[in-house]
Chains A and B, each alone.
Chain A
Amino acid sequence: MNSYLFRIGSKTSGFLRSTQFVRSYSKHVKSESYKKALEDVETQVAESPCILYMKGIPERPECGFSNTAVRILQAEGAVFTSYNVLKNNDMREAVKEFGDWPTIPQLYVKGQFIGGADILMGLYKSGELSKLLNEAGVVKKDE
């Protein structure tokens, strides 16, 4: 396997195309832990009314965009679970493949992919996020 990769890498003209081929090939050869991660994402999204895949945790986000997503959800009074993709690289990649969305953070409400930080900001400003979260029943009730 290693010598095969070396041969691909030594061709300079088709190098970029070759590396992309190797990358896409290796994605198809999914490890057991990656397959499990994909199943876990599917389960989490199906079972959690509102889940945010993010970098870090809500109390301490490790990325400005993840922080934005958390603050918006908190401003809306949403009750949500979160998953820190930085603690598991298989999960980090599985989340992107599952949602067919290349970046983190990602919000799912009632199994539906809503978007990342930019979209959440847009929906928040327009009031659509509030409507969406209320209709899904994931907003804290005032006591």
Chain B
Amino acid sequence: MTTIGPIENEIKELLTKELNPINLEIINESYMHNVPKGSESHFKVKIVSEKFETLSMIEQHRLVNEILKNFIGNGKIHALSITSRTPTQWKKNNQTKINVDDDKSPSCKGGFGK
């Protein structure tokens, strides 16, 4: 995916502004799903931020959901996969070899088109 769509840009700006992440990856996974080409409906967000330091996983996800509520809440995007880490966790993980397939999103099963 070489072109970044408007929604992806907006998401990036919002997350950067609110969470000041030390690492942020946004992947448009719409191509993996039963939606028209060029869609911006399914995203994966990998984010590392100090603001996650005291939060549990679910609180971290809720925080990201809250920031992106105008996208998920009103159906602008259909699915959001979140991988959130504190800087401590991320640094630790980056020092050991990680199997990149670990974070792969599951295959669609055709759900969205139904």
Contact = CB atoms under 8 A, between A and B. Distances in A.
B72 interface: yes
B27 interface: no
Contacts of A113: 58
Given A63-B111, A64-B107, A118-B81, A102 B65 contact: yes
A66 B82 contact: no
Contacts, number: 61
Contacts of A55: 111
Contact of A115 (B58, B72, B73): B58
A98 interface: no
B57 interface: yes
B72 A63 contact: no
A66 B114 CA distance: 14
Interface in A39-90: 55-56, 61-68, 86
B6 interface: no
Interface string B92-114: 00000000000001111111101
A86 B113 CA distance: 12
Interface size band for B:
20 to 34
Contact of A102 (B73, B110, B112): B73
A63 B57 CA distance: 23
Nearest to B61: A119
A101 interface: yes
B79 interface: yes
17 contacts: A20-B74, A23-B74, A61-B109, A62-B110, A63-B108, A63-B109, A63-B112, A64-B107, A64-B108, A64-B109, A65-B81, A66-B111, A67-B109, A115-B57, A116-B61, A118-B82, A119-B58
